[in-house]
Structure 1
Amino acid sequence: CPGVVECEEIEDLAEPLGRSSHCFPALFIHVSRKDSLVLPDGEEKKTMDVMMKILDKCLELKLDRKVTFVALGGGVIGDMVGFAAAIYQRGVNFIQVPTTVMAMVDSSVGGKTAVNHPLGKNMIGSFHQPECVFVDTDTLKTLPDRELQSGIAEVIKYGLIRDPDFFEWQENNMEGLLKRDPDTLRYAIKRSCENKAEVVKADEKEAGIRATLNLGHTFGHAIENGSGYGVWLHGEAVAIGTAMAATMSARMGWIDEELVKRTYTIMHAANLPTELPVDSPMDTETFLDAMSVDKKVADGQLRLILLKGDLGNCVFTGDFDKDAMTATIEEFVAECAGS
């Protein structure tokens, strides 16, 4: 018997999906309201306290190990449901039904589950693979524009780190993505998932190459944490972080200025930010403090994903110019209130 966990914004979506979706018409047939749980959405709600509501519901219903959790919503819901599934009775099955671009192209694929901690994003979690992921792009028809654009930041990432042809396709098709052209969206989601699946297959537990999927995330997570969870959508923070990574890479001579320009241009075409606002609380110390507890720190050494060489190439390394990193941070916070 499935137990559905969904976010407030799509509370009434499960029944229409079960009736009309060509992807999963039978998934919700046997679900009653008593087997469902509606949770608040947003990074600021991705906490142990909120995640515990899932476990509380399971214990109230006396659910056994044969239960299958269904995560219906965006990345926050998927992360919390996946983590709850990983730890309930030492692990039960779960299914991802992502309803945002961000969740479809990134967070629902690969088995990363987590909640945030006040001192760091996604610091409490587990690797727990879903039994399957159902993607129905019809659910994107009502997605707010800001959420759509946030998800596109992760699509852009795949082109920058490993798929130059896909990046060039995005440069030529960004208008179609923003207008939600069905064929354009389907292609972008499919190719993104293919890219991620190839990397996860080679390195499921992120011992090496999978870390490259975090381009812009070390800077971005620092922005989310330092600004307060919920101020920025994840993709918005990653977009700024990617701009910082590109800027830093060029400062070290690892990429040419033309690639930096293309990175900024495609972010702007997607209506994504590439700089911090003047009222941002971020300063150099806040950045460095948050980055010091990043999951990619090993033996006290910070490691970053940076662009190197031609489009589609990157490195995951701790061997970089620390002065270039500090100078990049200082450049981005120069006009912020926090500085």
Structure 2
Amino acid sequence: MSDDPPPAKTLVQEVPVEFDLSDQISSRMSSKLSAFFGQLVVACLCAVGAVVLRELTDLILPAGAGPFALTFPFVLFATLFARWTAGVITMLLSALFAWYFVLPVNNSFTFEIASDAPRVLVNVLSGFLIVALAEYYRRVVRQAISTRDALAEERKLLLQEIDHRVKNKFAMVSGLVRIEARGAKSHDARQALERLQGRVESISKVHEALFRDEDGDSRVDMQVYLSSLCNSLRDGVVTQDGVQVVTDLRPVNLSRDKAIAVGLVVNELFTNAVKHAFEGREKGEIRVLLETEPAGLVVTVADDGVGMPKGDTRKGSLGQGLLQSFAESAEGELEYPEVAQGTCVRLRLPYR
């Protein structure tokens, strides 16, 4: 049995930035100019937005108020969402519009007074400074996103490697116990080893359920977990061909520790049923139920076998002591209701 981890994948550091509008516009174009085209489209839209806002402002305020002030928000937007090229183009187009149409003399690049030229220059340079700062911020955010995604991918690969190794360890321990059980000369020793193997399988199934969840949630889907556990117990413990295993499990999530405890309870009750319920019989049925009630959850393991003597819950046995310990770990209580045929044990888990 190999204990080598699966081959590691190469981590890709360049991660697309989700909020890049220019990339979204140019993503379907194969031309080398596609990236610039996307930036140009965003820049033109931002420049038009600045012009429209400028015209709306002139309807409320005196004409020409703050000719460049309304340009800067659109320059900032273009740079953040379409790179510095879009910001520069937006600034230039908006500045030319304000210079030609807003500043006196209107419809001319001639300045009414000499001091207007330095004022225009300072406003344009301020716009370029906004572009530089926004582009720096944008690159920092881009790098942070790339680092975040790379770390997430690395974490995923590490978890896959751990999962691979831990599953190998569980399989190795289970295999060794199985070999010892088959070679045991004492019937009691063989049964004890088979129970131990079942407990290892129970914990292993919780591990598989946790690592099957790609969202990293530490809660276990009990429907999937108990179904997998019962299938393993049926294949590994049930020796009579006529014994059927029936499950009816509701979709419920429990914490990892509670799930392990519940699985161990089910394992003990299941193996007890296989061991005691069908002595001298070829056919029978073991039922495992997971139900929800207003007060909490109920896990039931029942069989239609010979049953236990009335009032006998084997309180003095080691198995019963383990069952009680597992139930307490799950913060639940065991019940032994009387049934017409066979044995029924319930584990009640109140909502906390």
> More relative contact order in 1 or in 2 (CA 8 Å, sep 6+)?
1
Global fold match (TM > 0.5): no
Radius of gyration: which is bigger? 2
